[in-house]
Structure 1
Amino acid sequence: MPKYVYDFAEGNKELKDLLGGKGANLAEMSNLGLPVPPGFTITTEACRHYLAHGELPDGLADEITAHLAALERRMGKRLGEPDDPLLVSVRSGAKHSMPGMMETVLNVGLNDQSVAGLAAQSGDERFAWDSYRRLVQMFGKTVLDIDGGAFEDAIEAVKSAKGSTDDLDLTAADLSGLVDAFKKIVADHTGKPFPQDPREQLFLAVQAVFTSWNAPRAILYRRQERIPGDLGTAVSVCSMVFGNLGMDSGTGVAFTRDPATGQQGVYGDYLQNAQGEDVVAGIRNTVPLAELERIDPASYRELLGVMETLENHYRDLCDIEFTIERGKLWMLQTRVGKRTAAAAFRIADQLVDQGLIDLDEAVRRVTGDQLAQLMFPRFDEKARRHRIAHGMNASPGAAVGKAVFDSYTAIKWSRSGEDVILVRRETNPDDLDGMIAARGILTSRGGKTSHAAVVARGMGKTCVCGAEDLRVDTKNRRFTAPDGSVVEEGDVISIDGTNGNVYLGEVPVVPSPVVRYFDGEIDPEAADAGELVRAVHRIMAHADGVRRLGVRANADSPDDSSRARRMGAKGVGLCRTEHMFLGDRRSLVERLILADTDKERDQALAALLPLQREDFVGIFAAMDGLPVTVRLLDPPLHEFLPDITELSVRVAVAESRGEKYENDLRLLQAVHRLHEQNPMLGLRGVRLGLVVPGLFTMQVQAIAEACAQRLREGGDPRPEVMIPLVGTVQELEIVRDDALEVLRKVGEDYGVELECPIGTMIELPRAALTAGEIAERAEFFSFGTNDLTQTTWGFSRDDVEASFFSAYLERGVFGVSPFESLDVDGVGRLIRVAVEESRAARPGIKLGICGEHGGDPDSVHFFHDCGLDYVSCSPFRVPVARLEAGRAALNGAGG
Structure 2
Amino acid sequence: MLRLDGTATATRADIGGKAFGINGMRALGLPVPPAFVLTHPDSTQLRDGIRLLERETGRGFGDPTRPLLVSVRSGAAESMPGMMDTVLNLGVTDSTRPGLITLGGNAFATDIAERFRTQFEQITGSPPPPDPWTQLDLAAAAVFRSWMSPRARAYRAHRGLGEHGGTTVTVQAMVFGNLGPGSGSGVLFSRNPITGEPDPLGEWLPRGQGEEVVSGRSTPRPLADLARELPAVHRELLDAAALLERAHQDVQDIEFTVQSGRLWLLQTRSAKRSDAAMVPLAIGLVESGVLSIPVALERIRPAHVTALTGSRIIGRAGAELLATGTPAAPGIGSGRVVPDADQAEELAAAGHRVVLARPTTDPADVHGMIAATAVVTGLGGSSSHAAVVSRELGRPCVVGCGPDVLAGLAGLLVTVDGHTGEVLAGELPVLPVDPRLGSHLGTLADWLARHPAPELAPVVRAALARVQSAPARSR
TM bracket (short chain)? over 0.9
- For the 8 Å contact 2:2–2:8, the answer to whether it is kept is no
In structure 1, what is the equivalent of residue 56 of structure 2? 74
Q: Distance in 1 between matches of 2:219 and 2:89?
A: 23
- For the 8 Å contact 2:182–2:259, the answer to whether it is kept is yes
Q: Which residue of 31, 36, 54 corresponds with 1:35?
A: 31
Q: Which residue of 478, 481, 496 corresponds with 2:417?
A: 496
Q: Distance in 1 between matches of 2:402 and 2:253?
A: 24
Matching of residues 854-865 of structure 1 within 5 Å: none
Q: Which residue of 206, 231, 241 corresponds with 1:272?
A: 206
Counterpart check, 1:260 vs 2:242:
no
Q: Which residue of 180, 203, 212 corresponds with 1:246?
A: 180
Offset at residue 260 of structure 1 (A): 0.4
Q: Distance in 2 between matches of 1:538 and 1:118?
A: 60
Larger Rg: 1
Q: Distance in 1 between matches of 2:135 and 2:154?
A: 28
Q: Which residue of 374, 386, 393 corresponds with 2:320?
A: 386
Matching of residues 343-382 of structure 1 within 5 Å: 343-374=277-308, 376-380=310-314
Query: What is the SS of the residue equivalent to 2:148?
Result: coil
Q: Residues 79 and 529 from structure 1, CA distance in 2 versus in 1: closer, same or farther, beyond 3 angstroms?
A: closer
In structure 1, what is the equivalent of residue 108 of structure 2? 127
Q: Distance in 2 between matches of 1:83 and 1:64?
A: 22
How high is the sequence identity, in percent, across the aligned residues? 39
Q: Residues 416 and 197 from structure 1, CA distance in 2 versus in 1: closer, same or farther, beyond 3 angstroms?
A: same
Q: Residues 202 and 27 from structure 1, CA distance in 2 versus in 1: closer, same or farther, beyond 3 angstroms?
A: same
Offset at residue 343 of structure 1 (A): 1.4
Q: Give the residue type in structure 2 aligned to 1:315.
A: Q
Q: Distance in 1 between matches of 2:111 and 2:120?
A: 14
Q: Distance in 2 between matches of 1:36 and 1:391?
A: 33
Q: Distance in 1 between matches of 2:145 and 2:269?
A: 23
In structure 2, what is the equivalent of residue 137 of structure 1? 118
Offset at residue 386 of structure 1 (A): 1.8
Offset at residue 310 of structure 1 (A): 1.1
Offset at residue 61 of structure 1 (A): 3.0
CA-to-aligned-CA distance 1:664-720 (integer Å, 9 cap, x gap): xxxxxxxxxxxxxxxxxxxxxxxxxxxxxxxxxxxxxxxxxxxxxxxxxxxxxxxxx
Q: Distance in 2 between matches of 1:109 and 1:459?
A: 36
Q: Which residue of 47, 57, 72 corresponds with 1:90?
A: 72
In structure 2, what is the equivalent of residue 599 of structure 1? none
Alpha-carbon RMSD: 2.3
Q: Distance in 2 between matches of 1:550 and 1:452?
A: 31
Q: Distance in 1 between matches of 2:311 and 2:462?
A: 16
In structure 1, what is the equivalent of residue 337 of structure 2? 403
Matching of residues 47-66 of structure 1 within 5 Å: 56=41, 60-66=42-48
Query: What is the SS of the residue equivalent to 1:213?
Result: helix
CA-to-aligned-CA distance 1:637-656 (integer Å, 9 cap, x gap): xxxxxxxxxxxxxxxxxxxx
Offset at residue 131 of structure 1 (A): 0.7
Q: In the comparison of the two structures, how many residue pairs are matched?
A: 464
Query: What is the SS of the residue equivalent to 1:494?
Result: strand
Q: Distance in 1 between matches of 2:267 and 2:349?
A: 38
Matching of residues 379-778 of structure 1 within 5 Å: 379-380=313-314, 384-468=318-402, 470-473=404-407, 479=408, 487-489=409-411, 491-513=412-434, 530-538=438-446, 545-547=452-454, 567=462
- For the 8 Å contact 1:8–1:23, the answer to whether it is kept is no
Q: Which residue of 193, 203, 206 corresponds with 2:137?
A: 203
Q: Distance in 1 between matches of 2:13 and 2:153?
A: 18
Q: Distance in 1 between matches of 2:92 and 2:403?
A: 38
CA-to-aligned-CA distance 1:370-399 (integer Å, 9 cap, x gap): 334345533126663222221111000111
Query: What is the SS of the residue equivalent to 1:342?
Result: helix
Gaps of at least 5 residues in structure 2 are: 467-475
Query: What is the SS of the residue equivalent to 2:344?
Result: helix
Offset at residue 21 of structure 1 (A): 0.5
Q: Residues 542 and 421 from structure 1, CA distance in 2 versus in 1: closer, same or farther, beyond 3 angstroms?
A: farther
Matching of residues 127-166 of structure 1 within 5 Å: 127-144=108-125
Offset at residue 17 of structure 1 (A): 0.5
Counterpart check, 1:9 vs 2:6:
yes
Q: Distance in 1 between matches of 2:301 and 2:167?
A: 25
Offset at residue 501 of structure 1 (A): 1.2
Q: Distance in 2 between matches of 1:239 and 1:404?
A: 40
Offset at residue 307 of structure 1 (A): 1.2
CA-to-aligned-CA distance 1:102-147 (integer Å, 9 cap, x gap): 0110111111111222112x14111111111111111111122x6x
Q: Distance in 1 between matches of 2:146 and 2:456?
A: 44
Q: Residues 265 and 381 from structure 1, CA distance in 2 versus in 1: closer, same or farther, beyond 3 angstroms?
A: farther
Higher relative contact order (CA 8 A, sep 6+): 2
Query: What is the SS of the residue equivalent to 1:37?
Result: coil
Q: Distance in 2 between matches of 1:127 and 1:529?
A: 50
CA-to-aligned-CA distance 1:846-882 (integer Å, 9 cap, x gap): xxxxxxxxxxxxxxxxxxxxxxxxxxxxxx9xxxxxx
Q: Residues 225 and 461 from structure 1, CA distance in 2 versus in 1: closer, same or farther, beyond 3 angstroms?
A: same
- For the 8 Å contact 1:362–1:539, the answer to whether it is kept is no
- For the 8 Å contact 2:21–2:267, the answer to whether it is kept is yes
Q: Give the residue type in structure 2 aligned to 1:6.
A: R
Query: What is the SS of the residue equivalent to 1:393?
Result: strand
CA-to-aligned-CA distance 1:528-554 (integer Å, 9 cap, x gap): 6544433554566567x144x7999xx
Q: Residues 488 and 39 from structure 1, CA distance in 2 versus in 1: closer, same or farther, beyond 3 angstroms?
A: closer
Q: Distance in 2 between matches of 1:359 and 1:228?
A: 31
- For the 8 Å contact 2:301–2:456, the answer to whether it is kept is no
CA-to-aligned-CA distance 1:478-518 (integer Å, 9 cap, x gap): x2xxxxxxx341x21011101111111121111124xxxxx
Query: What is the SS of the residue equivalent to 1:331?
Result: strand
Query: What is the SS of the residue equivalent to 1:113?
Result: helix
Q: Distance in 2 between matches of 1:540 and 1:142?
A: 50
In structure 2, what is the equivalent of residue 105 of structure 1? 87
Q: Distance in 1 between matches of 2:142 and 2:457?
A: 48
Gaps of at least 5 residues in structure 1 are: 47-55, 147-185, 187-193, 474-478, 480-486, 514-521, 523-527, 553-563, 569-875, 877-895
In structure 2, what is the equivalent of residue 335 of structure 1? 269
Q: Distance in 1 between matches of 2:295 and 2:262?
A: 37
- For the 8 Å contact 1:395–1:461, the answer to whether it is kept is yes
Q: Residues 283 and 542 from structure 1, CA distance in 2 versus in 1: closer, same or farther, beyond 3 angstroms?
A: farther
In structure 1, what is the equivalent of residue 16 of structure 2? 20
Q: Distance in 2 between matches of 1:533 and 1:471?
A: 39
- For the 8 Å contact 1:425–1:443, the answer to whether it is kept is yes
- For the 8 Å contact 2:71–2:89, the answer to whether it is kept is yes
Q: Give the residue type in structure 1 aligned to 2:28.
A: L
- TM-score with structure 2 setting the length: 0.92
Q: Give the residue type in structure 1 aligned to 2:227.
A: E
Q: Distance in 1 between matches of 2:245 and 2:340?
A: 38
Q: Distance in 1 between matches of 2:290 and 2:376?
A: 36
- For the 8 Å contact 1:21–1:96, the answer to whether it is kept is yes
Q: Residues 458 and 231 from structure 1, CA distance in 2 versus in 1: closer, same or farther, beyond 3 angstroms?
A: same
CA-to-aligned-CA distance 1:284-309 (integer Å, 9 cap, x gap): 11100111011111211111111111
Counterpart check, 1:305 vs 2:226:
no
Q: Residues 207 and 422 from structure 1, CA distance in 2 versus in 1: closer, same or farther, beyond 3 angstroms?
A: same
Matching of residues 287-306 of structure 1 within 5 Å: 287-306=221-240
In structure 2, what is the equivalent of residue 483 of structure 1? none
Q: Distance in 2 between matches of 1:488 and 1:320?
A: 35
Q: Residues 383 and 77 from structure 1, CA distance in 2 versus in 1: closer, same or farther, beyond 3 angstroms?
A: closer
Matching of residues 736-885 of structure 1 within 5 Å: none
Query: What is the SS of the residue equivalent to 1:498?
Result: coil
Q: Give the residue type in structure 2 aligned to 1:115.
A: R
Q: Distance in 2 between matches of 1:268 and 1:565?
A: 31
